[in-house]
Amino acid sequence: MYRKSPLLSPLRSLFRGPLRIPAVALVVTGLLLSGCDSGAPGHSAAASTTATRSLGPLPADLSADLAPYYQQKLSWHTCGVPGFECATMKAPLDYAHPVAADDLKLAVARKKAAGPGARLGSLLVNPGGPGGSAIDYLQYAALGYPAPVTSRYDMAAIDPRGVARSEPVACLTDAQMDAFTAVDTTPDDAAETAKLVATDTGFAAGCAKRSAKLLAHVSTVESARDMDVLRALLGDDKLSYVGKSYGTFLGATYAGLFPQRVGRLVLDGAMDPAVSALDSSRTQAGGFETAFTAFAGDCVQHTDCPLGTTSAEDAGRRLDDFFRALDAKPLPTGQARTLTEALGTTGVISALYDEGSWPTLRAALTKARQGDGAGLLKLSDEYYERDANGRYSNLMYANAAVNCLDLPPALSSPADVERALPSFRSTSPHFGTGLAWASLICGYWTVPATGKPQRIEAAGAAPILVVGTIRDPATPYAWAQSLASQLTSGHLLTYNGDGHTAYGRGSDCVDTAVNLYLLEGTTPPENQKCD
């Protein structure tokens, strides 16, 4: 039995990043399948520069010690809804030193194409995170992606190592996670700073205690190599793939490692692999500021806007006042937990991922200003994948584990944060302080980072489609532009809209262009923009 994530709308996109977790982005998983198997503190802060080194490809020939993984036979069985199959795939814990006794068991799933039209092979999907369950997302993708695509591709997914059904990383008890998410992330004095540091170090220590075997081997590079094993086991010469949010980093990493095996890759809501963790956190803070400005501009047009009806600037001032009031006195929520400033901020940010959630945010803020914090707490719980029984999925644990391994920490001490605060506040007046302090956690991680910022060129790869949304709050549009320019065969498709990611979110223009690429390999015209 596996704990299920909350049942959320497949079109709702949430960011799982700087709110007490390292900077990263995620598009939330859709409907669920069931029955599938399953350094020391004080690192120096990452340089705030763009990388010049590039990720190089792996040798094209398969080494003898990896052959057993590529030649294993998957035992498929029905699971969840009719038409879906699940299996367990073995992967080496350490690709550099494969030892059968240490092998990981990774959960995979698929839904075979039913036609009409000639079969195009498998289309792997990943919703992001890191930490989002690709198998949970598969049901939405297989049933919700356009029929011309799902009728010709076998839709497939693998829960990345450390995630959901695939040897999940564990860190805290549910009660400890409640305390972690509620702690003040805008400390006003030394005591509050010490409490914040203690919860960060406690989180890192909990992960080290409960997941010692995994923590050094949940990198994006290793997950990309796992995808290549699955590609071979599915019988595909090349990988076709749709990755959303962090899934774009996973897909681009695959392309960098295996350019000769790239089929049709869609990277939607792109991350920039060349930026440091510090630059990533600060830029994402600006993305949330942009999203809030768009929300506020819409809100003040409504007579029931809880932030006033004058201007977006005035709405921002009222939001600041609300956060200050929460900091001084948390709100009741109808349950034992109160709405702290940290939880309230998470609730606001969680609703900024999708303009369809703006009415929900207006209602939650209205209730909060009347003294009831339940609506914002619900939004925060959705963000953290906390269910009605108080149980958390492992999304946040995997999220931290992957990010802290992929990049050196953005900031490593309270003094680092204090120095970074002016730039964060300038980039994001309403959220910058909290997001700066949230960038601290990897500074206390017990396993040194194995990755670093690097360009991904994937020379020799087939054309790769990068999709960027101009007002994307979690993966700013500039990152899509950067990734498309780095990739030797990159092509950029622009959506002039709001929300996180674009494909399958209501734009006929975007869907038509992506479908044409997936079905025929035809890339959009240069500089195509969809409104």
Question: pLDDT tens digits for the chain (531 residues)?
Answer: 222 222 223 333 333 444 555 544 554 433 344 444 443 333 333 334 456 689 999 998 989 999 999 999 999 999 988 999 999 999 999 999 999 999 999 999 999 998 899 999 999 999 999 999 999 999 999 999 999 999 999 999 999 999 999 999 999 999 999 999 999 999 999 999 999 999 999 999 999 999 999 999 999 999 999 999 999 999 999 999 999 999 999 999 999 999 999 999 999 999 999 999 999 999 999 999 999 999 999 999 999 999 999 999 999 999 999 999 999 999 999 999 999 999 999 999 999 999 999 999 999 999 999 999 999 999 999 999 999 999 999 999 999 999 999 999 999 999 999 999 999 999 999 999 999 999 999 999 999 999 999 999 999 999 999 999 999 999 999 999 999 999 999 999 999 999 999 999 889 999 999 999 999 999 999 989 999
CA 495 to the chain's CA centroid = 20
Task: Report in angstroms the alpha-carbon separations of 489 from 252, 259, 263, 530.
Answer: 11, 10, 12, 21
Instruction: List Cα–Cα distances, 260 to 125, 238, 456, in angstroms.
Output: 20, 8, 14
Q: Which residues pair with 166 in a beta bridge?
A: 163
CB 209 within 8 A of CB 228: no
- Which backbone phi and psi does 320 adopt, to 5 degrees? -60, -45
Cβ contact 341:331 at 8 Å = no
Phi/psi for 356 (5° steps) reads -65, -15
Rounded to whole angstroms, how far apart are CA atoms 350 and 318? Answer: 19
- Give the active site residues: 245, 472, 500
Distance, CA of 186 to CA of 193 (rounded, Å): 8
Q: Which domains does the chain have, with CATH numbers?
A: 1-279+393-531 (3.40.50.1820)
